[in-house]
Structure 1
Amino acid sequence: MVVAKNKKAYYDYFIEEKYEAGIELKGSEVKSIKLGKASIKEAFIRIIKDEVFIMGMNVTPYEQSSIYTPDQLRVRKLLLHRKEIRKLYEKVSQKGYTIVPLTVYIKKGLVKIEIALARGKKNYDKRETEAKRTQKREMDKAMKSINRY
């Protein structure tokens, strides 16, 4: 079940490799995420001392929780294998590469996040992507009107 998507990532970046990671959560954050109160639109990912962290991920506090509610924009650790972290670090240290969050979802009762190794698009690449999207939309519209008759 998909909880949050980062649609802008596909517009701003060329997605090269995707990884699945767990998220280290505290208190009632899991309940809040399962209710769909998470956002990764402003989130970004950093590698610090061989550990991967997501910053700017917004998890609205769970309303029924009364004891402990962690900060909704706190830095959360991502759980990846050491080999994957090394591979990501080597690529990110090259110019033009970054790590972006794509989706937050629930898999077998666990909260997972799909992250991607991405390369930034230039403005002309973005225009090209938009032109292809518009062309596909118009083609689908034309096919739909043809099939109507």
Structure 2
Amino acid sequence: MSKQNQGTKIVCENRKARHDYFIHDTFEAGLVLQGTEVKSLREGKANLKDSYAEIKNGEIFIVNMHISPYDHGNIFNHDERRPRKLLMHKQEIIKLFSKTREKGFTIVPLKIYFVKGRAKIEIALASGKHNYDKRQDLKDKAVKRDIERDLRGR
């Protein structure tokens, strides 16, 4: 087991993001969570579909990320889709803010995982793909799969 993967548990991934966007740069950020949200994440009950990050007043928030309520919680359960603050260095936030001011760039979450007991989220600076880009990616993937199948058969 490599040092990088030691103590890492992936909770959920946004596979569709790599299909819908060109990923230019990735960043790791901490998540500010309430008590029952952590327990739901440990059970793997999170969804990154249709979520994105936005910067307000020098702080970065993840919007529209769904974390299901904890089954054994009580009346103090959390709101499922509340905006959650991300913990990043100021210079990284400034870099992201300046890039997102440019046309076509957005911040999308790629995956949520635990590192040494702490919830982290991997976010990416991305630009949208057109339909013809997506079709080209699918063709390239199919060609690569066919080549590998032929090489295995020899």
Tell me whether the two structures share a fold, i.e. TM-score over 0.5. yes
Aligned residues: 146
* Superposed displacement of residue 108, structure 1: 0.5
- Matched position secondary structure for 2:50: coil
Aligned to 1:54: 62
Q: TM-score, normalised by structure 2?
A: 0.91
- Matched position secondary structure for 1:28: helix
Whether the 8 Å CA contact 1:25–1:76 is kept in 2: the answer is yes
Indicate yes or no: 2:149 matched with 1:141.
Answer: yes
Q: TM-score, normalised by structure 1?
A: 0.94
- Structure 2 Cα separation of the partners of residues 128 and 47 of structure 1: 32
* Superposed displacement of residue 126, structure 1: 1.1
What pairs with 1:19-98 in structure 2 (closer than 5 Å)? Answer: 19-98=27-106
- Structure 2 Cα separation of the partners of residues 18 and 62 of structure 1: 30
* Superposed displacement of residue 141, structure 1: 2.0
More displaced, 94-103 or 59-68? 59-68
- Matched position secondary structure for 1:104: strand
Aligned to 2:116: 108
Aligned to 2:132: 124
State the Cα deviation string for residues 82-117 of structure 1 (Å, max 9, x = none). 111000000000001111100000100000000001
Task: Give unmatched runs, 5+ long, in structure 2.
Answer: 1-8
- Structure 2 Cα separation of the partners of residues 93 and 119 of structure 1: 12
Q: Aligned letter for 1:46?
A: E
- Structure 1 Cα separation of the partners of residues 90 and 40 of structure 2: 29
Indicate yes or no: 2:18 matched with 1:10.
Answer: yes
Task: Give unmatched runs, 5+ long, in structure 1.
Answer: none
| Structure 1 residue runs of 4 or more that deviate by more than 6 Å after TM superposition | none
- Amino-acid identity (%): 46
* Superposed displacement of residue 67, structure 1: 4.1
